[in-house]
Structure 1
Amino acid sequence: MASLFSTLVLVTGGFEFLTDRAMRRALAQIRDEDPETSVSEVEGSSLGPGELTGLTSPSLFSSHSAVVVRGVESLDPTVADELLAYAAAPAPDVVVVLTHGGGQKGKGVLDKLRKLPAVKEVVTSAPKPWEVTRWVSTEVRQLGASVSEEAADYLVAAVGHDLRSLAAAADQLVDAATGADGRRDKISLELVRQYFGGRAEVKGFDIADAAIDGDAALALEQLRWALHNNVAPVLVTSAFATGLRSLARYGVASSKGLREAELAREVGAPPFRLKRLRAQLKGWDGAGITTAIRAVARADLDVKGAADPEYALERMVLGVVGARVR
């Protein structure tokens, strides 16, 4: 890996977690090169004229130094000019890490920085909703492990789409999959269920999948577990509505001859979810999906009103299962 000293690392993309992580990884590489590197961090909005020169001057206490400037879009015009002048001839023993918060603000400075040979840009971008499961798989792979498609999909359903939380969950699962000898097993659906299967959001989707699959006994069993453990009834009806809407969208989109990524985007589901939807659709037609959605809508109104939620949800499960064509 090439040395970062005498360079400026420009982190763009505007997604806070990914930007912060890219910045931290750059600092980790710098410290790998020289553990004694002194690091200074400053907000771009608070950086006054002449201060950048002081920060990038030789250190009295270490041979190398790093300067992190957060939010270059907020630099004072005079300071921005000083930064551009420095970037044209950076000090050989200094690394400057710059972050940009996204948007058009500060675009002029960005465009000028990108043209300079000493500037190394790291572009961060958040995955689209249908790409999050794949992002989890990549995250696990970067940690030196692997995860099954079903397990990654389930983890997203359990934790949600917050990347910081997903990254922490992936790290926890990789640790759990690592044996005393350092060998790492593939992260399985069972392992993810063990650590995250108690999440209310997952239980709602588990119940919905069982009902859409036509397994009334399993759906009712999981429903009773969820209610016993105080899962909010509205989470269950929401999961059913999401599952049926995805099924309906898949039924329409799958006839268009789209590629997998395009189909996932059209359906609004991760690519790994398409296999499950394809299997589920075999038991449904348009009329059945419409009937099932009406049953869910009725249950949603009931649980938000004064009706007995257990009765309303059990009736919904049986109504959905009964709407299947086979």
Structure 2
Amino acid sequence: MPPLVLVTGPEQILAERAIESTLEAARSLAPDLEYIRVDMEGYEPGQIGMHCAPSLFGGAKCVVVRGADQAGDDAQADLLAQIERPEEDVTLVVAHAGGNRAKKVVEAMKKSGARVLEAPAIKSDRDKADFAVNEFRRNRRKATPEAVRALVEAVGKDVRELASACKQLIDDTTGVIDDQVVATYHGGKVEATGFRVADAAIAGQAPEALRLLRHALASGVDPVPIVAILAIQLRQLIKVAGAGRASANSLAKTLGMAPWQIDRARRSLQGWDVEALGRAIQAVAAADHAVKGGGRDPEYAVERAVLTICDERHRR
């Protein structure tokens, strides 16, 4: 077990898992491991040195310092001193969410050969889809791309909620997880999402798009994110339309999209041309202005944008 472990990155759930896996590894070597948590809020000078000092009765320790990115001068000085002179049988775990504060601590940990565990931010739909896929894979379960997409759309705003939703599906179901399984557990949320509105509009399905839109609005979904999703979906179509015929996997990084998003966009492009997409984008831009204070009726503005998209899909 290395004496120094650095957990770096802002994604809290990944940081917590990295800390827990470190504790599990330490306990496998020392079942009587003493675990000590140190938070930077309310830190008192000398705490880290005191907790890392050898016990009178011996035994292994794991001292976990959380929120090192918020460490004051005293805490930083104590951490640097401990990193420079690590104690035998003591594992020091430092969690730093990023930023410039306490950067010297991060640099010192790396220079001293600390094991580095990353907890990168999960923000984009692609990141969330990859996270969900990994959740299923690490539990030896398979989920279809459509199921992953539906799950991200339904509960992907918060990564912790997404992880919880994955666990529920893993625990409560058997076999391959498809979009119908996701709909069984999260159908209300999926149906009310702006992504379903955008899909129906881009497919030219005006009655369905309006039904989903009115359901979403009645469920309390704000028009602003719906318009934003319409814009995102249309821009993805434009990006994919100009990307050539390379495989989705090879284009994913260049376009900043997940492979399944590229495959979906290619299917959705049937019935569209560049001019129609341009007019649809203009209609969404007008709706965006209206729902952000430039119009009297935000709901009417987004409804008009949806109908315009449907009309452009059929005009070709």
TM-score > 0.5, shorter chain as reference: yes
Q: Match of 2:119, as an amino acid?
A: T
Matches within 5 A, 1:147-186: 147-177=143-173, 184-186=174-176
The TM-score with structure 1 as length reference comes to: 0.78
Tell me how many residue pairs correspond in the alignment.
308
1:102 and 1:299, CA in 2 relative to 1: closer, same or farther beyond 3 A?
closer
Distance (Å, rounded) in 2 between the aligned partners of 1:231 and 1:54: 52
Distance (Å, rounded) in 1 between the aligned partners of 2:287 and 2:115: 55
Q: Do structure 1's residue 279 and structure 2's residue 267 form an aligned pair? A: yes
Matches within 5 A, 1:54-93: 54-59=50-55, 63-72=59-68, 74=71, 76=74, 78-87=77-86, 90-92=87-89
Q: Match of 2:260, as an amino acid?
A: F
Aligned with residue 319 of structure 1, among 284, 294, 308 = 308
SS of the counterpart of 1:110? Answer: helix
SS of the counterpart of 1:133? Answer: helix
Residue 124 of structure 1 is matched in structure 2 by 119
Distance (Å, rounded) in 2 between the aligned partners of 1:123 and 1:214: 43
Aligned 8 A contact 2:128 2:156 in 1: no
Residue 15 of structure 2 is matched in structure 1 by 19
Residue 238 of structure 1 is matched in structure 2 by 228
Q: Percent identity?
A: 34
Residue 199 of structure 2 is matched in structure 1 by 209
After superposition, give the CA deviation of every residue in 1:157-196 in whole Å (9 maximum; x if it has no partner): 222353222222222221222xxxxxx3222111222222
Aligned 8 A contact 2:10 2:97 in 1: yes
Aligned 8 A contact 1:133 1:272 in 2: no
Q: Match of 2:175, as an amino acid?
A: D
SS of the counterpart of 1:198? Answer: helix
Distance (Å, rounded) in 2 between the aligned partners of 1:245 and 1:24: 40
Distance (Å, rounded) in 1 between the aligned partners of 2:220 and 2:67: 44
Distance (Å, rounded) in 2 between the aligned partners of 1:72 and 1:228: 44
Q: Do structure 1's residue 293 and structure 2's residue 288 form an aligned pair? A: no
Distance (Å, rounded) in 2 between the aligned partners of 1:145 and 1:191: 13
The TM-score with structure 2 as length reference comes to: 0.81
Displacement of 1:298 in angstroms is 4.8
Residue 45 of structure 2 is matched in structure 1 by 48
Aligned 8 A contact 1:44 1:69 in 2: yes
List gaps (5 residues or longer) in structure 1.
178-183
Displacement of 1:234 in angstroms is 3.9
SS of the counterpart of 2:17? Answer: helix
Distance (Å, rounded) in 2 between the aligned partners of 1:128 and 1:227: 25
Q: Match of 1:176, as an amino acid?
A: D
SS of the counterpart of 1:199? Answer: helix
Matches within 5 A, 1:29-48: 29-44=25-40, 46=43, 48=45
SS of the counterpart of 1:323? Answer: helix
Displacement of 1:235 in angstroms is 4.1
Q: Do structure 1's residue 194 and structure 2's residue 184 form an aligned pair? A: yes
Distance (Å, rounded) in 2 between the aligned partners of 1:218 and 1:81: 61
Distance (Å, rounded) in 2 between the aligned partners of 1:152 and 1:11: 28
| Aligned-residue CA RMSD (Å) | 3.3
SS of the counterpart of 2:62? Answer: strand
Aligned 8 A contact 1:248 1:289 in 2: yes
1:13 and 1:204, CA in 2 relative to 1: closer, same or farther beyond 3 A?
closer
After superposition, give the CA deviation of every residue in 1:266-323 in whole Å (9 maximum; x if it has no partner): 544333211110111121111111222334345556666444946x655544332221
Distance (Å, rounded) in 2 between the aligned partners of 1:275 and 1:186: 20
SS of the counterpart of 1:144? Answer: coil
1:36 and 1:24, CA in 2 relative to 1: closer, same or farther beyond 3 A?
same
Distance (Å, rounded) in 1 between the aligned partners of 2:290 and 2:102: 52
